[in-house]
Amino acid sequence: MRFQIERRSQPSAVMRFAAPVVATVLTLAAGSLLFAFLGHDPIDTLYAFFISPLSTMNGLSEWILKASPLILIGCGLAIGFRANVWNIGAEGQLVVGAIAATGVGLFVSLPTGLLLPVMVLAGMVAGMAWAAIAAFLRARMNTNEILVTLMLTYIASFLLSYLVHGPWRDPDGFNYPQTALLPVEAMFAPFDYAYRVNTSVFLTVVAVLAMWLFTERSFLGYKMSVGGAAPQAARYAGFKQSSSIWMGLLISGAVAGIAGMAEAAGPLGQLSAQISPGYGFAAIIVAFIGRLHAFGIVLGGLLLSLLYIGGEGVQMDLGLPAALTRIFQGLLLFFLLAADFLIFYRIRVIRRTH
Amino acid sequence: MDPRLELRNICKRYPGVVANDGISLTVKPGEIHAILGENGAGKSTLMKIIYGATHADDGDIVCDGQLIETHSPSLSRSLGIEMVYQHFALFESVSVVENIALSVREKYDIPALSRKVTEVSERYGLPLDPRRLVHHLSVGERQRVEIVRCLMQKPKLLILDEPTSVLTPQAVRKLFDTLRHLASEGCSILYISHKLDEVQELCDVATVLRNGTVTGTANPKESTSAELARMMVGSEIPETHLDPSVPSADPVLSISTLSASAPDVFGVDLKDINLDVHGGEIVGIAGVAGNGQAELISLVSGERSDHATDAIRLCGTPTGGKSAGERRALGLAFVPEERLGRGAVPTHDLGDNAALTAHREGMVAHGLLNRRKARQFAEKVIERFGVKATGPSTIAQSLSGGNLQKFIVGREIELHPKAILVAQPTWGVDVGAAAFIRQTLIDLSRAGVAVLIISEELEELFEICDRLHVIADGRLSGALNRSEMTMESVGLLMTGRDRNSNGSYDHALSD
C-alpha cells in the first residue's frame, strides 16, 4: 500500500469557499489541544482570546484600528501577488511612508486643511519610491524582487532607527528614541476621544473598493492577471510584462506607505523605533487568507487583528506566553494552505491487487 | 519459446480519465510491434508502464516468462528493456559520449567508451561523433544519441515513442533500416505511432488502441489504411474539399530578406527569408522542428519585436518595432502551437480567454473590461465552431486539446483578420476535429484571407496548401506549387541540401 498525490479533475466550488472556514475550525481545535496541554481550560481560553476582546467598546476600537492597516496593505499586496509579483517588503515601505509623512508633519509648515493630505501623499510617494527600487531592478536586470524588497525592509528600519536616535530625536523626550509629537492638525481625528480608532479607516474602505474595481472590472487588472497566470499568453496578447511588475510593486508600495503614514498620524502621533508590530509581514498572510480577493481580505484582516488583540488579552488575563499569538497565526496559515492544497489535489491510497 | 513481453489486462486510471483499460498484448522475440492510436488513446501511458516509469493500477507484465512484481526503470534495464522517449533527456552542454556515460553502469573510461560508441553507431548505420557537444546537434542527431545509448546496453526490447515526428522522410527511411537490422538480431521493437503509412511499411504486428482499450490486432502489411484507420478512429475520416485559389494582386503578409540572430544560444539564426502570402491563398511552411520555425513565428506575431526591422509588412505597412497588439490592429491573427499557456490562459474561463485577443472588439471602455461582451463573444465562438464546452464559464484547461484548439482558431477567425498565422493547426487534435479545422482554414482563405500555416505534418500541408515552402537551418526554400509537392522534393529541402544555392528548389533536386 502506498500514498499518492494527484490533481483533482474538477476542484469543488463549494470547498473553495469552505476551505477558510475549515481551516479556522481546525486552528481552533488544535489551539484548544494546545491550551489544554498548557493546563488551561480550552473553552475559557478561547473565550478570552476571541470573545472578550469584542465585548467592550475599547476592544472593538482596537480591533478595527489594527485590522485597518492589515487590510489596506493586504489589498495592495494581493494586486501584485495576482500577477506573480512578490513584494515581501511592505514592512519597509510602511516604515519609509511613516518617516516621510512625519517629516512633513513636523518640519513643513502648510495651511491646516492641506497638511494631512500632503502627509498622505508623502507617505504614498515614499512607499512607492521604496518599492520602485525593486521594480526597477526586476524589470531591468531580472533581480528577484522577493530578496530586494525584503532586504530594503532592513535598510528602512535602520534608517528609522538612525532618525529617531539621531537628528529627529525629540529634544524634550528624555532621550527616548522618538520624535516630537505631531501637531493635532497633522493627525487623523478619532471618532471619539475615549478610543483610538480614527478617520484613517476611510482610506482603507476606499482602498478595498478600489481594489475590487481594479481586479474584477478593470482592463489593467485583467491584463495583470493574465501576466501572472500565463506570461506567454500575455506576450501573445501583446500585454507588456514589465508594466505588471511596475504596477504590482508601485501599488503595493503606495498603500504600505499610506498605512505607515496612518500609524504615525493616528494611534502613535509620532515616529518611534517601533512604528509597526509587523503589519507589513502579517498582511501577506491576510492577502492569502482572503484568497487575493478584496472582500476576502477584509475578513482576513479582521481575523488576524483579532488574533493580535486576543493574544494580548490572554497574556494579560491568563498569563499565557506571547509566542502563543505567533503559534496561532502559524497554525492558521498552515491549515489554510493545507486546505487550499486539498482543494486542487487529493491523496489516494493505492493497494496493489495480486 | 516464451514471448519477449506479455501484458495481461493492464489498467491505469488518472483523475477523470481511464488511460488504459484492460490492455493485453504479446510481443515475440525479433518482432516489430506497432502500438497504433490517436493522440490520447493511451499509447504513451502504456509504454511508461512497460518501462516501469509509471505503475499500473491493475494487471500483469511478464517478460521472457518471468512475472514482474515491483517494476521500475532500473529493473527494466536489467531485463534488457530500453526506451527512447518522444522528448529527449539529454544534457545539452556536454558531449555525446558524456551523455552516454551517464547511463553506463559498468566501469568505463571516456576514450574507450568513445570507441565503443563509434563502433555501435557505425554497425547500425547511425553516424555520430562522440566528442561533439549535444547542443550543436540537430534534432535527428540527438535522437541518434538516444538510440545509440539504448543500443549500448544490447537491449532485448526497444521502445520507441513517436520517433519520426522529428525526422525528415529520408532520415525516417534510415531509421527503419536500423530497426530492421536490430530486429533481425532478435531484438523486439515496440513502435508507437499514429502514422499509418509508417506502421504499414515497418511493422509485423499492430495493436490498435482507442480510448485506452485495444480495438484490434492486425498485420499492417496485409491491412488497408482504411481498415486500420477505422480501428483507430472508430469511424470514417471526413475528407476536406479544396477549391482552386484566387489570390489577391498584392501580398497581405510579405517578408523580404529577413535575417535575425537567435535570441539565445540554443535558438536558430534566420537567414534571408523571403515569403509572400496573398489574400485568398494558403501558404505552408514545412520543416523538422527546431529549424527556425519558433523564431520566425515570434518575429511575425510580434511577440519578439526587439528587432526593429521593416522586413515584415502587413497590408503594405512595415511592422518594425510594432508589438503583438499593434500588429493585431493591422489585421493579423495568430494561433500558436502551444494552446495552454500561450494561446489561452489555462486557469481562466473561456469568456476571459476570448478577451485575450478580442478585447479590441469594443470590450474595453473607460479602462474597464466589459465581461458581458467577452462572454457573448465566447458564446458565439463556442456555437459557430462546435466547441464542446458548457459555456463561457468553462475553464480553459478543462477542455480537450481539440476543443481548445477549435476555440482558439474560432476566436482568431471571429476577429475577421486580413492575415492569419497558424502554427501546428492540428497537433494532438483528434481526426474529426482536425478535418474540421483544416476545412475552416480553407474556407477562410477562399473568403479572401491570407493564411500562413507552419506545420510538421507533411500530409496535412499537402492536403490544404496552395504553395509550400520548406524551412531548414533558418533558411526558407523557394515556393513549391501543388504539382511540385512530393515527399521526395520536400524531404530533400528539409535536409537543407540547397543551403549554398539561392534557395530555389531546382538546385535542391540536382544536388
Residue B257 backbone zone (phi > 0: left; psi -120 to 50: alpha; other: beta) = left
Query: Nearest-CA distance from A242 to chain B in Å?
Result: 14
Q: What is the pLDDT of residue A237?
A: 93
3-state secondary structure B305-322: CCCCCCCEEECCEECCCC
Q: Does B9 touch chain A (CB under 8 A)?
A: no
Contacts of B367 in chain A (CB under 8 A): 218-220
User: Are the Cβ atoms of A232 and B341 closer than 8 angstroms?
Assistant: yes
The amino acid that residue B377 corresponds to is F
In angstroms, the first-to-last Cα distance of chain A is: 12
In whole angstroms, give the CA distance from residue A331 to residue A42: 16
Interchain contact B362–A (C-beta under 8 A):
no
pLDDT bin (cut points 50, 70, 90) of residue A246 is very high
CB-CB neighbors (< 8 A) of B324 in chain A:
235-238
Chain A residues near residue B352 by CB distance under 8 angstroms: 222, 226
Q: Cβ of B348 and A236 within 8 Å?
A: no
pLDDT digits 0-9 by tens, A177-218: 899 999 999 999 999 888 999 999 999 999 999 999 999 999
What integer pLDDT is reported at residue B503 of this predicted model? 41
CB atoms closer than 10 angstroms to residue A200: 25
**Which of B328, B341, B398 lies nearest to residue A230, judging by beta carbons?**
B341
Q: Minimal Cα–Cα distance from A130 to chain B, Å?
A: 27
Of B257, B245, B248, which is closest to residue B278 (Cα–Cα)?
A: B248
B331 has a chain A CB within 8 A of its CB: no
Q: Which residue of A has its CA nearest to B345?
A: A230
Alpha carbons within 13 A on the beta-carbon side of A314: 28
Selected for mutation to probe chain B from A7, A236, A343 (highest B CB count within 10 Å) is A236
- Taking an 8 Å cut-off on Cβ atoms, the answer to whether B352 and A9 are in contact is no
**Cβ pair B324:A218 closer than 8 A:** no
CA nearest neighbour of B95 among B149, B37, B174, B24: B149
For residue B359, give the nearest of A219, A232, A354 by CB distance. A219
pLDDT score, position B236 = 66
pLDDT above 70 coverage of chain B, percent: 94
Closest CB from B326, B346, B369 relative to A230: B346
By C-alpha distance, the chain A residue nearest B368 is: A218
**Which region holds residue B43: left if phi is over 0, alpha if psi is between -120 and 50, else beta?**
alpha
B274 touches chain A (CB under 8 A): no
Average pLDDT score over residue span A79-95: 95
Instruction: Check if the interface score ipTM surpasses 0.95.
Output: no
User: In chain A, which residues have their Cβ closer than 8 Å to the Cβ of B396?
Assistant: none
Q: Is there a contact between A233 and B15 if contact means CB atoms under 8 Å apart?
A: no
At the topology level of CATH, where does B5-233 sit?
Rossmann fold (3.40.50)
Count A/B contacts: CB-CB distance under 8 Å: 79
Is B249 exposed, middle or buried, given 0-12, 13-18 or 19+ CB atoms closer than 10 A? exposed
Q: What is the share, in percent, of chain A residues with pLDDT greater than 70?
A: 97
CB contact under 8 A, A225 and B348: yes
Stated as kind and residue range, the H or E segment containing B165 is none
Q: What are phi and psi of B412, to 5 degrees?
A: -70, -35
Nearest to A235 among B16, B324, B359 (CB): B324
B349: closest chain A residue by CA: A226
Q: Measured between beta carbons, which residues in chain B are less than 8 angstroms from residue A218?
A: 367-369
Q: Choose from A239-248, A252-261, B49-58, B295-304 the range with maximum mean pLDDT.
A: A252-261
Considering only alpha carbons, which residue of chain A is nearest residue B358?
A237
Does B315 lie at the interface with A, CB-CB under 8 angstroms? no
Q: Which of A9, A222, A226, A344 to mutate to test the interface with B (most CBs of B within 10 A)?
A: A222
Contact B345 A239 (CB under 8 A): no
Given a cut of 60, is residue B498 above it in pLDDT?
A: no
Fold of B240-331+418-511: Rossmann fold (3.40.50)
- From chain B, the residues in CB contact with A342 under 8 A are none
Looking at chain B, which residues constitute the CATH 3.40.50.300 domain(s)?
5-233, 240-331+418-511
For the cut 80, the answer to whether the pLDDT of residue B500 exceeds it is no
Three-state SS at B226: helix
Tell me the range of A85-89, B52-56, B488-492 where mean pLDDT is highest: A85-89
Q: Give the residue on A whose Cα is nearest the Cα of B323.
A: A238
Please indicate whether residue B264 or residue B101 has the higher confidence score (pLDDT): B101
Residue B430, all three cell numbers: 483528434
Residues of A in contact with B303 (CB under 8 A): 235-236
For residue B63, pLDDT beyond 70: yes
- Can you tell me the distance from the alpha carbon of B376 to that of B370, in angstroms, rounded to the nearest whole number? 10
Q: Is the pLDDT of residue B308 over 70?
A: no
Q: Could you say which of B338, B347, B357 has the minimum Cβ distance to residue A237?
A: B357
The average pLDDT across B154-172 equals 84
**DSSP-derived 3-state class of residue B355:** helix
For residue A345, what is the nearest residue in chain B, using CA coordinates?
B15
Alpha-carbon B36 to chain mean position: 16
Instruction: Indicate if the pLDDT at residue B510 is higher than 60.
Output: no
Q: Tell me how far apart the alpha carbons of residues A180 and A117 are, in angstroms, rounded to a whole number.
A: 20
pLDDT of the residue at B332: 95
φ, ψ (nearest 5 deg) of residue B109: -125, 150
Residues 6+ apart with CB under 8 A from B278: B247, B248, B249, B250, B251, B252, B450
On whether the A67-319 domain is CATH 1.10.260, my answer is no
Supply the pLDDT for residue B505.
Answer: 39
Cβ–Cβ gap A233/B341 under 8 Å: yes
Could you tell me which of B442, B69, B344, B462 has the C-alpha nearest to residue A233? Answer: B344
CA-atom Rg of chain B in angstroms:
24
* Best B70, B334, B345, B394 residue to mutate vs chain A (most A CBs within 10 Å): B345
- Which chain B residues are Cβ-neighbours of A222 within 8 angstroms? 352, 355, 359, 369
Answer yes or no: do B369 and A233 touch at CB < 8 A: no
The pLDDT value recorded for residue A354 is 46
pLDDT in tens, B165-175: 767 788 888 88
Inter-chain touch B367–A9, beta carbons under 8 Å: no
Per-residue CA distances from A78 to A286, B135, B196 (Å) = 9, 41, 52
DSSP B383-445: HHTT---S-TTSBGGGS-HHHHHHHHHHHHHTT--SEEEEESTTTT--HHHHHHHHHHHHHHH
Q: What is the 3-state secondary structure (H, E, C) of B23-83?
A: EEEEECCCCEEEEECCCCCCHHHHHHHHHCCCCCCEEEEEECCEECCCCCHHHHHHHCEEE
Q: Is the pLDDT of residue B207 over 70?
A: yes
φ, ψ at B250 (rounded to 5°) = -100, 145
Quick check: B507 pLDDT over 50?
no
Query: Which phi and psi (to 5°) does residue A30 adopt?
Result: -65, -40
Strand B419-423 vs strand B332-335: parallel, antiparallel, or unpaired? Answer: parallel
Interface test with A, best of B61, B348, B361, B368 (most A CBs within 10 A): B368
Whether B58 contacts chain A with CB within 8 A? yes
CB-CB under 8 Å, A232 with B342: yes
Q: Which three cell numbers stand for residue A147?
A: 530578496
SS3 labels along A296-309: HHHHHHHHHHHHHH
Cβ neighbours around A210 below 10 Å, total: 17
Q: Which helix (H) or strand (E) holds A230?
A: none
User: How confident is the model at residue B511, as a pLDDT?
Assistant: 33
pLDDT for B306 equals 60
SS3 B204: coil
The more confidently predicted of residues B108 and B472 is B472
Taking the CA of residue B210 and the nearest CA in chain A, the distance in Å comes to 21
How many CB atoms sit inside 10 A of residue A142's CB?
9
Q: Does B244 touch chain A (CB under 8 A)?
A: no
| Mean pLDDT score across all residues of chain B | 87
Rounded to the nearest angstrom, the minimum Cα separation between B347 and chain A is: 7
The highest-confidence range among A310-314, B63-67, B349-353, by mean pLDDT, is B349-353
**For a pLDDT cut of 90, what percent of chain A falls above it?**
57
Q: Does A229 contact B57 at a Cβ distance shorter than 8 Å?
A: no
What is the pairing mode between strands B32-36 and B205-210?
Answer: parallel
Handedness of CA B231, B235, B240, B241 (dihedral sign): positive
Question: Domain segments of chain A: what residues?
Answer: 1-40+320-354, 67-319
pLDDT(A159) > 80: yes
Chain A residues within 8 Å of chain B (Cβ atoms): 6-10, 217-220, 222, 225-226, 229-230, 232-233, 235-240, 346, 350, 353-354
Instruction: Find the range with the poorest average confidence among A282-286, A317-321, B235-239, B497-501.
Output: B497-501
B344 touches chain A (CB under 8 A): yes
Angle at CA of residue B478, ends B472 and B480, nearest 5°: 105
Q: pLDDT tens for residues B243-291?
A: 888 888 899 999 988 888 887 777 789 999 999 999 999 999 998 878 8
pLDDT confidence of residue B77:
86
